[in-house]
Chains A and B, each alone.
Chain A
Amino acid sequence: MIYLDSAATSFQKPETVGRAMVEALQTMSSPGRGGYPAAMQAADTLFSCRTELAELFHISEPDRVVFTMNATHGLNIAIKSLVPRSGRVVISGYEHNAVTRPLAALGAEIIVAGAPLFRPDLTTEAFEKAITPDVDAVVCSHVSNVFGLVQPVEAVAALCRERGVPFVIDASQSAGVMPLDMATLGAAFAAMPGHKGLYGPQGTGVLLCGDKAETPPLLEGGTGSVSIQQEMPDFLPDRLESGTHNVPGIAGLLAGVRFVRGKGESAICLHERKLALRASEGLRKLPGVCVCARRDLFDQTGVLSFVVDGVDSEFVGNALAEAGFAVRSGLHCAPLAHRTAGTMESGTVRLSFSAFNTEKEVDLLLEALPEILKRLSD
């Protein structure tokens, strides 16, 4: 199988990730629940992971790095911390259901700062108009999961700081690929998965809490601290981390984060963009294929969507799966993004690359596609 679905989860992981997970299973128990070596080793692993993530994302204290199950979990905490019932929220036109569904559940008034694809100037303008002081929060994805579109989060963050509105960043597609400086952005929260660009295992996620973040817990339970008190601890990370941690997962995440820091986010991003550019150029030569990107892939990461004229994107995805290529097709849990981009009817076929993909794999896809598309069009 040639795996081109890293925007869903990075399937190929560094060898160190699996090894760290096995070692954790064999040597670590539950952090914060004992002073014996197995418990302290688990606590050391979590602390090292928090520290490395704090350094990577410029978070002032490791305590403000909270482990979650995934980005959705973190986004739920962030959104439910900031948005009251029937609150008012500004979001970009490219948000995932992980943002829009919690907002819908709160009955929030959602103001979409929509703009066409690859027009960061218009996106910023739309946010500028929409962010008023009565807005409870602004939520914006750093990179669209469908189109790889890089959104102008620095400009949006500046508007939020200026107008005193809390800012939440969905870094699901950017963590490990693009720099994210929480200290400079002054965001209230940034949520991210551990299992995509950070190369940890599935079931891991991270919520970065800014210096002013107020955080009512989403779950209550044991934390291994202030146990007599029946209210949750008023300090991080314990306030948001009740129950036993996913220690093997976090050990794997730590190995993944070290892999990313060793290679460098920019080098990984450059590699993925190079592959996306190669794919884009090849796809443009195929009749009936429309690539949802600028020719130079400006303002884009290694995520690339395309549409085949008159063919349902799911059929293309299925045919590619039969031919040994793992891609994602349909709406990618982001109907708002498709509505904004005008691809709601067809959905798109999405290719997403990781540090482990090669030019050869892109070429094999481009060699296989003409035959597949011809068959589907007949």
Chain B
Amino acid sequence: MEQYWMIARSVTYAQRMERMLMAAGIRTRIFRAPRDLSNLGCAYAVEVTGGALRPALSILRSAGLYPAKLYLLQQGKYVEISL
């Protein structure tokens, strides 16, 4: 299953994203983003899997929440996906 990591600027922002998605029935997980995924240092990632990405982004946009960056985890590597 594909894993997508949405980078949030802060833990509070990540939590807002997580709660919004959970309320819509989309399973997520929050964790500290790897250093090379957050060019300003110290950020959180919100993970969604597979087909949940498109509805997740749509739900977040409608709530005015925008991930700073989006990555696809592929064979142990992260590939940035333009938002």
Task: Using CB atoms and an 8 Å cutoff, list the residues of chain A in contact with chain B.
Answer: 31-32, 34-35, 40, 43-44, 46-47, 50-51, 61-63, 223-229, 233, 235, 237-238
Contacts and interface: CB of A to CB of B under 8 A. Distances in A.
A232 to B, nearest CB: 12
A233 B30 contact: no
B31 A35 contact: yes
Given A44-B15, A226-B43, A235-B9, 4 more contacts: A32-B11, A47-B16, A62-B12, A226-B40
Interface residues of B, number: 17
B27 interface: no
Nearest to B10: A225
B59 interface: no
A238 B12 contact: yes
A50 B12 contact: yes
Interface string B29-53: 0111000000111111000000000
B15 A43 contact: yes
Interface in B5-33: 9-13, 15-16, 19, 30-32
Given A224-B42, A227-B40, A229-B40, A34 B32 contact: yes
A174 B75 CA distance: 57
Given A226-B42, A228-B41, A47 B12 contact: yes
Contacts of B31: 35
B42 A227 contact: yes
A43 B30 CA distance: 11
Contacts of A51: 19
A61 B15 CA distance: 12
Given A61-B16, A62-B16, A224 B30 contact: no
Contacts of B12: 32, 43, 46-47, 50, 62-63, 237-238
A32 B43 CA distance: 9
A189 B39 CA distance: 32
Contacts of B42: 224-227
A35 B15 contact: no
A40 B9 CA distance: 16
A330 B44 CA distance: 50
Contacts of A46: 12
A59 to B, nearest CB: 13
